[in-house]
Amino acid sequence: MENLFLVCLIPPVSIVEDIDVIRTDLSEQFNVLESLKRPAHITLYNPVKISSGAAELSFFKALESASFANPFMQVIKNYHSFAPHTIYINVDQNEGIMQLQSQIKRALRPLNLWPQKENSKFTPHLTIAFKDLKPNVYTEIIDDLNDKKFKREFLVGSFSVYKHIDKKWRPYKEYPFKNPQTQTKPISLFD
């Protein structure tokens, strides 16, 4: 058994529909199709392969412990890129999303799902073109998006896990936020 999971934020349906219009327009105009194969999402933890039932149980238990968070407003606006291979909608780096991603990463660290050197800086983003994006097309799309504005905001009160099933990412589990003040604290000899 080997399963592939993705921990992410999924915007509300109305915003996903707006993003899908953008992605569809780009695919029709510039023949970039890869982003349409994935749900519109903000990655909180890179996809991981888990190959045992026990490891899967530990993975979901760790995520449960990371769900103690306060809801926050998330703004996504305008376009940016990781030149020359990825174009995305910019995700504001507010305290809520940065803290949530940090909690998830910290909760999953003991499971050793990623090599220790995986200390890359978290740049929240919502990808609209990548993988099949060629350098000349990248420039055309950036030029096309240069004068276009996009801004949406939404309340984040949960995060999701998607599972790769039959070559597609599918919703698998959602973690509604729990009040951080109700989280049990580890027992300490020095309290």
Q: Within a domain: residue 112?
A: yes
pLDDT digits over 36-82, tens only?
999 999 999 999 999 999 999 999 999 999 999 999 999 999 999 99
pLDDT digits over 118-156, tens only?
557 899 999 999 999 999 999 999 999 999 999 999 999
> pTM, whole model, 2 decimals?
0.92
Q: Within a domain: residue 187?
A: no
Q: Within a domain: residue 83?
A: yes
Q: Within a domain: residue 21?
A: yes
Q: Within a domain: residue 190?
A: no
Q: What is the CATH number of the domain that holds 159?
A: 3.90.1140.10
Q: With the C-alpha atoms ordered 180, 185, 186, 191, is the resulting torsion angle positive or negative?
A: positive
Domain count, the chain: 1
Distance CA 72, CA 70 (A): 6
Distance CA 117, CA 131 (A): 24
The parent domain of residue 47 ranges over 3-182
pLDDT beyond 80 at 185:
no
Query: Is residue 35 within 8 Å of residue 23, measured between CB atoms?
Result: yes
Peptide bond into 39 cis (omega under 30): no
Q: Within a domain: residue 33?
A: yes
Query: Is residue 127 within 8 Å of residue 87, measured between CB atoms?
Result: yes
